[in-house]
Amino acid sequence: MSLIISRMRPLFVYGTLMRRFQNEGARRLWDGAQFLGPARVPGRLYMVDRYPGLRPAHGPDEWVHGEVVMPANAETLVPELDDYEGTEYRRVETEATLETGEKIDVCVYEFHRELPESKLVRSGRFLAWALVLLTVSTSLSAQTRRVSDAEVRKVHRSAILIDTHNDVTSRTVQGFDIGPRSADGHTDLVRMKAGGMTATFFAAYVAAGNTEGNRSAHRALQMIDTVRRDIVERHPQQVVFATRAADIVRAKKQRKIAALIGIEGGHAIEDDLRLLRDYYDLGVRYMTLTHTNTNGWADSSGDMAKEGVQHHNGLTDFGKQVIREMNRLGMMVDISHVSDKTFWDVLEVSQKPVIASHSSCRSISNIPRNMTDEMIQAMAKKGGIVQINLGCEFLSQKSADTSSFGNPSLRPDSGVKIVRATIDDVFAHIDHIRRIAGIDAVGLGSDFDGVECVPEGLEDTSQWPNLTRRLLEHGYSAADIRKIYGGNLLRVMRAVEAR
Ligand SMILES: [Zn+2]
**Weakest mean pLDDT among 10-19, 191-200, 458-467:** 10-19
Distance 164 CA to ligand 1 centre (A): 11
pLDDT, residue 394, reads: 98
Q: Write down the pLDDT at residue 99.
A: 45
Average pLDDT of span 337-350: 98
How far apart are the C-alpha atoms of 381 and 64, rounded to whole Å?
18
pLDDT surpasses 60 at 40:
no
Ligand 1 centre distance from Cα of residue 286 (Å): 13
CA of 450 to the centre of ligand 1 (A): 7
The pLDDT assigned to 15 comes to 32
Task: Give 201's pLDDT tier (boundaries 50, 70, 90).
Answer: very high
User: Which of the two residues, 99 and 481, has the higher pLDDT score?
Assistant: 481
> Residue 77 gets which letter from DSSP?
S
Taking the centre of ligand 1 as the mean of its atom positions, its distance from the CA of residue 264, in whole angstroms, is: 7
- Position 86: which residue type? G
Ligand 1 centroid – CA 205 distance (Å): 8
**In this model, does residue 441 exceed pLDDT 80?**
yes
pLDDT score for 412:
74
Q: How far is the CA of 313 from the centre of ligand 1 (A)?
A: 21
**Mean pLDDT of all residues in 67-74:** 36
| pLDDT score for 411 | 80
CA of 288 to the centre of ligand 1 (A): 8
Q: How remote is the CA of residue 74 from the centroid of ligand 1, in Å?
A: 31
Residues 302-327: pLDDT tens digits?
999 999 999 999 999 999 999 999 99
The confidence band for 414, taking pLDDT boundaries of 50, 70 and 90, is confident
Counting Cα atoms < 13 Å in the Cβ hemisphere of 300 gives 20
Mean pLDDT over 1-21 rounds to 29
Spatial separation of the C-alpha atoms in residues 441 and 443, rounded to whole Å = 7
Residue 142's pLDDT band, with cuts at 50, 70 and 90, is very low
Handedness of CA 237, 238, 243, 246 (dihedral sign): positive
| Å from CA of 27 to ligand 1 middle | 45
**CA 2/CA 480 separation, integer angstroms:** 14
**pLDDT tier at 75 (50, 70, 90 boundaries)?**
very low
Q: What pTM did the predictor assign?
A: 0.74
Cα(444) to centroid(ligand 1), Å: 14
pLDDT band (50, 70, 90) for residue 143: low
Q: How far apart are the CA of 433 and the centre of ligand 1, in A? A: 20
Per-residue pLDDT, averaged over 474-491, amounts to 96
Question: What pLDDT is recorded for position 460?
Answer: 98
Ligand 1 geometric centre to CA of 268 (Å):
14
Q: How far is the CA of 358 from the centre of ligand 1 (A)?
A: 7
For each of the domains in the chain, give its residue range(s) and CATH number, in order of start: 5-134 (no CATH), 149-497 (3.20.20.140)
Alpha-carbon distance of 427 to 434, in angstroms, equals 10
The CA 166 to ligand 1 mean position distance, Å, reads: 9
Centre of ligand 1 to C-alpha 371, Å, is 14
Least confident of 22-26, 289-293, 308-312, 408-412: 22-26
Cα of 229 vs centre of ligand 1, distance in Å, is 23
pLDDT per position as a tens digit, 223-254: 999 999 999 999 999 999 999 999 999 999 99
Contact (Cβ atoms closer than 8 angstroms) between residue 170 and residue 227: no
d(CA 252, CA 9): 35
Q: At residue 206, what is the residue type?
A: V
* 337 Cα: distance to centroid of ligand 1 (angstroms): 7
How many A from CA of 41 to the centre of ligand 1? 50
Element (H, E) at 219: helix 216-225
Residue 488 CA, ligand 1 centroid: distance in Å:
21
* pLDDT score for 409: 84
Rounded distance from Cα 390 to ligand 1 centre (Å): 11
Give the model's confidence band at 405: pLDDT under 50 very low, under 70 low, under 90 confident, else very high. Answer: confident
pLDDT band at 212 (very low <50, low <70, confident <90, very high): very high
Tell me what the mean pLDDT of segment 484-491 comes to: 97
Cα(350) to ligand 1 centroid in Å equals 21
Residues 373-385: tens digit of each pLDDT: 999 999 999 999 9
One DSSP character per residue, 45-59 reads EE--TT-TTEE-SS-
* Residue 36: exposure state from Cβ atoms within 10 A (0-12, 13-18, ≥19): middle
Distance 482 CA to ligand 1 centre (A): 25
Span 155-182, average pLDDT: 97
Helix (H, G, I), strand (E, B) or coil at 421: coil
How much distance in Å is there from the Cα of 394 to the middle of ligand 1? 11
